[in-house]
Amino acid sequence: MRAISLLLLAILAALAESHNGKHKRRDKRELLVRSKRRWVLSTIELTEEDKGPFPKKIAKMFNDKSDDEAKTHKFHISGMGVSKEPLGVFSIDEHTGEVFAHKPIDREKYELFHIQFDIFDKNTNKPIDKELAFDVEIQDINDNAPKFSNPQPTVNVKENMPEGYLEAQLTAWDIDKVNTSNSQITFTLTKQEPQQPKIELEQMNGRVAQLKFKGCFDYDKIKMYKITVEAKDHGKPSLTSTAVITLKIVDTNTHPPTFKDNKYHGEVLESAIKNDVLRIAVEDKDTPKTPGWRAKYFFIKGNEDGNYKLETDPETNEGILNIIKGKDFERTTFTTLQVGVKNEEPLFVCGGKSPGPDESLDSVNITIKVIDVNDPPHFDKDKHDVYQREEEPPGTVLFTPTTHDVDSDVANIRYVLLDDPADWMEIDPKTGQIKSKKKMDRESEFVGDDNIYKVLIGAIDDGMKELHCIL
C-alpha cells in the first residue's frame, strides 16, 4: 500500500509531554485540529499593544516531510503582515520555522491576520507540500476611552417647558471590541451648576443617554446651566471621558402685562374718523420683542357699534386707539371703552395649570368725549322742481323750502340766493320764500335747451353753517 504522507503544523508550545499517560490541558493557541489526515494549526492569539521585547517568538512550524538533519528544506510565510499591508509585522526563520512578531499591533486597526505557510526544497525551490494557512488574532485590551459624538453641546430650553425629558441627548461609543466589557459604557451625571431645578440622566441604551428634569426653570433667576456627564467603560482598568452640556434658558411668557395707568381720557370731534387718537401703555417684565412680551389689546365692552379699533405699536408695545366710524354727538356725548390686554404667547404658571383665557388679565377704562360739531341745516330735498309760465306777472310765490337743523333753532336760519343768472328772483331771508320779481322769458339765453332755469339758494344757521338747494 502506498504510504500516506502527513504534514504536521504546530507550535512548539503545543507539544507538551504527556505525564503518566495523560496529556496536560492546552490553551487555545496550542490546539491542533485534524482534518482529512492533515494537521491544521488553529488561530494564534496575540495581545494587542504587546510591549515586547521584539522580535518576539510566537510559534514554530515543522513538517514531517522535511529533513531536519540534512537541512534541505526552508520555511516561508506570506500574506497580511508579511508581504501585504501592514508590512514588517511578522517573519519566519526559514531554517528553524520559528515565527516572530516585530512590533505592537493596534487591534482597532488590524483585528485578524491571515497568513499563508509553505515549505520548499532548498535545492530545487519547489514546494514539498501543499500550502497551508494560519490566523493570528489580536486580543483586545482596554486602550480606548469612550468618545462623545459632541462633547460640548449647547441646547436652548424654553422657560415654560413642562418637566420631563429635555431636548438634550448624548451619544458615545467605544471602539474597543464589541460585546465586551472594554466597550460597554455607563453614563453618569457628575455635576450640575446651578443645582435647581434638579436635572437627571437616563441611559436609553448602550450608546445614548437623555437629560430630564423635575420642577420649573426661571429665566429671571438663572439663564444658563452647565451639566457634566461622564461616560465610563467596564474594562480593567476602566477608562472615562466627559461631556459638558450648556443649557441656555429661553425667556417665555411668565409675566402678564399690566397697564401703567388705571384710566385714560380722550376727545374726538363729532363724526370724525381718525387714527392714533389715544395711546395706552403697559409694563411687561418678559424679554422685549418676544411673543411673551408683545401685547395684544382687545375691547371687553363699549365698542358694540364697531366705531373703534385697537392696534399695537411693534416698537413701544403701546396700544393705539383709532376711530374707524364717526360718532353722532346728538346720540352720544361720552363713550366708555373697557380694554383688556394679553400677550401673543399664553401665560405660563409654574407648579399649576395655566390661567384660563380671561383669568389674570388686566383691564382699563377709556373715556372718550365726543365734541359737538355745528351740523349745517338741511333741506328736506336737495332739488325741487317748480313750474311757471313765461310772461307771468312778477310777485308770484314760486317756492318755500322746508328746513331742519339739529344744532340750531330753525327760526334763526337765514336764506340767501346763491345763483340767479337772469336776476328774475327774490328771496325772503327769514322764510326762504322765493318770488318772481320780473317776467321770465323762455327764449332767454339763461334758459337751457330743456326749458329749465336753475336757481341755487342757501340756508345759513347761527353757527354760520351753510346748505345749498337747487330749484
Half-sphere exposure of 339 (CA within 13 A, CB side): 35
The predicted structure's pLDDT at residue 412: 78
Question: What architecture does CATH give domain 375-471?
Answer: Sandwich (2.60)
The predicted structure's pLDDT at residue 463: 60
Bridge partners, residue 280, by sequence: 319
CB atoms within 10 A of CB 362: 15
Fold match flag (147-250 vs 258-371)? yes
Q: What's phi and psi for 327, nearest 5 deg? A: -100, 145
The predicted structure's pLDDT at residue 175: 95
The CATH class of the 12-139 domain is mainly beta
Q: Is 116 left (phi over 0), alpha (psi -120 to 50) or beta?
A: beta
The predicted structure's pLDDT at residue 352: 62
Please tell me the distance from the alpha carbon of residue 238 to that of residue 437, in angstroms, as a whole number.
Answer: 125
Domain borders along the chain are 12-139, 147-250, 258-371, 375-471
Splitting the chain (471 residues) into consecutive groups of 10 residues, what average pLDDT does each group show? 31 31 37 39 84 92 63 90 95 92 94 92 87 90 96 96 94 95 97 95 96 95 97 96 97 94 87 86 95 96 93 96 76 84 92 59 91 72 85 87 74 87 90 88 87 88 55 52
The predicted structure's pLDDT at residue 379: 83
Exposure string for 210-236, b = 16+ CB within 10 A, e = fewer: bbebeebbebeebeebebebbbbbebe
The correct CATH number of 258-371 out of 2.30.30.100, 2.60.40.60, 2.40.240.10, 2.40.128.50 is: 2.60.40.60
The predicted structure's pLDDT at residue 384: 87
Please tell me the distance from the alpha carbon of residue 142 to that of residue 175, in angstroms, as a whole number.
Answer: 10
The correct CATH number of 147-250 out of 2.60.40.60, 1.10.1660.10, 2.60.120.40, 2.40.400.10 is: 2.60.40.60
Proportion of the chain above pLDDT 90, given as a percent: 55
The predicted structure's pLDDT at residue 373: 64
